[in-house]
Amino acid sequence: MRYLVTGGAGFIGSAFVRLTLDTVDAAEVLALDALTYAGNLENLAAAAGRPNYRFERVDIRDGAAVRAGFERFRPDVVVHFAAESHVDRSILSPEEAMATNFMGTGVLLEAAREFRPRRFMHISTDEVYGSIEPPAEADESYPLIASSPYSASKAGADLLALAYYATFGLPVIVTRASNNYGPYQFPEKLIPLMISNAFDGKPLPIYGDGRQVRDWLFVDDHCRAIHAAIDRGRAGQIYNVGGNCALPNLEVVKRLLRAAGKPESLMTAVADRPGHDRRYALSSAKIEAETGWKPQVDFDDGLAVTVAWYRNNRAWIDRVRSGEYRSYYEKNYGNR
Ligand code: NAD
Ligand code: TYD
């Protein structure tokens, strides 16, 4: 099976590439990525040199480059991760999120309409449902009430992808996962930022009262859910993918400080994020019933793995923060 993976040099995309090469027989993988601040090839070092893997530097907003990638590779499955994935950045520069998340998805859908893969996996987020009052959980028919430019651009892209199923019969599946964590996550999201700051002895910025609730999913569990949906999901459907682990931010940060052996006094209250969603909560009953998938990694175990990875890869944190990988790639390979 030939997998074209957009955003393959990012956090979840690179985990998906590694898992696919390690666990799927006769898989061939083409990773496409623009290598923005969030993507770097060290995340894919384990794949480099394998005969059934290649990388191309492509911006998904570039229709001609995307089409050429499809024409050369002729994918059976497209797994579309590429996105501007951080809420805070989307508040600072909404246009980037709109252009990549919505228009870039449209460019890929157009190429897929021409080359007809067997599956087009559109990887989305629980944030499209917006903040959910307890004790409710969103199932796949819950209304879309996105609050940030990030979540609104993802919600728009979800609708566009589903429209290509309805209108053109493209076999699209949309997955909506909760907050991922694990190795190789850029140190701007809650867990990797807090771990990195704790190791540097820097303050840990807690937005507002820190009682916002997120549902945490280990990245490999997410990738296994995507494979389950590729293999056993139905075209035209949406599948929620939750970690069954809803926790307030303060609790998450306290647990990671314990795992890192650092003091709680590093936690510092800062101004709240504008439009900050209070609570995300998902029901994953549909993917569990239809595919047999379930999250396997307990949060404290996953957190221990994650903290250990960041402890052992401090140089990676410095390099991704400084953009060193991107300049190395540009110097040695040019813009390709
Ligand atoms: P990430 O920011 O780590 O990686 C995004 C990747 O996309 C990077 O490698 C980047 O270089 C690439 N990219 C960005 N713009 C591009 C463009 N125009 N053309 C080509 N490549 C481009 O993000 P992530 O956390 O790995 O998220 C991957 C996907 O999963 C996103 O679609 C996100 O919405 C979704 N998702 C993420 C989470 C989470 O908790 N991180 C949860 C649910 C869903
Ligand atoms: P984040 O990792 O940015 O993911 P998302 O906003 O997509 O859920 O944030 C997770 C939660 O942590 C969210 O409630 C915002 C909060 N947060 C902080 O309190 N401080 C921080 O520095 C960051 C990045 C997030």
Q: pLDDT tens, 249-297?
A: 999 999 999 999 999 999 999 999 999 999 999 999 999 999 999 999 9
Question: What total number of domains does the chain contain?
Answer: 1
- Residue 336 falls within a domain, yes or no? no
Measured from CB, residues less than 6 Å from any atom of ligand 1 are 6-7, 9-13, 33-36, 38-39, 59-61, 81-85, 100, 104, 123, 125, 154, 177, 179-180, 186
**Beta strands 204-207 and 267-270: pairing type?**
parallel
User: In the 3-class helix/strand/coil scheme, how is 27-55 assigned residue by residue?
Assistant: CEEEEEECCCCCCCHHHHCCCCCCCCEEE
At 325, the pLDDT band (50, 70, 90 cuts) reads: low
> Which numbered atom of ligand 2 lies nearest the CA of 249?
12
Nearest CA to ligand 1 atom 15: 83
- Residue 288 falls within a domain, yes or no? yes
What CATH number is associated with residue 70?
Answer: 3.40.50.720
Cβ proximity of 45 and 319 under 8 Å: no
Report the pLDDT value the prediction gives residue 336, as an integer from 0 to 100.
38
Those residues whose C-beta lies under 8 Å from the C-beta of residue 322, and which sit 6 or more positions away, are none
pLDDT at 12 over 60: yes
Residue that is written with structure tokens 């991107």 in the block: 326
CA of 213 to the centre of ligand 2 (A): 10
Cis omega before residue 135 (within 30°)? Answer: yes
| Residues designated as active site | 126-127, 150
Give, to the nearest 10 degrees, the angle between helix 249-260 and helix 190-200: 40
- Residue 121 falls within a domain, yes or no? yes
At 323, the pLDDT band (50, 70, 90 cuts) reads: confident
Nearest CA to ligand 1 atom 28: 81
- Residue 281 falls within a domain, yes or no? yes
Range of the domain at 199: 2-330
Whether this prediction's pTM lies above 0.95 is answered by yes
Mean pLDDT of the 59-75 span: 98
Please give the share of the chain, as a percent, with pLDDT higher than 90.
Answer: 95
Helices (H), 132-201: 149-168, 190-200
Measured from CB, residues less than 6 Å from any atom of ligand 2 are 87, 127, 179, 189-190, 193, 205-207, 212, 214, 249, 273
Residue that is written with structure tokens 């229709």 in the block: 63
Q: Which tokens go with 80?
A: 């579309």
Mean pLDDT of the 58-86 span: 98
Residue 100: Cβ-neighbour burial (10 angstroms; 0-12, 13-18, 19+): buried
Cβ proximity of 110 and 63 under 8 Å: yes
- Which ligand sits nearest to residue 4's alpha carbon? 1
**Beta strands 213-218 and 246-248: pairing type?**
antiparallel
pLDDT at 34 over 90: yes
- Residue 335 falls within a domain, yes or no? no
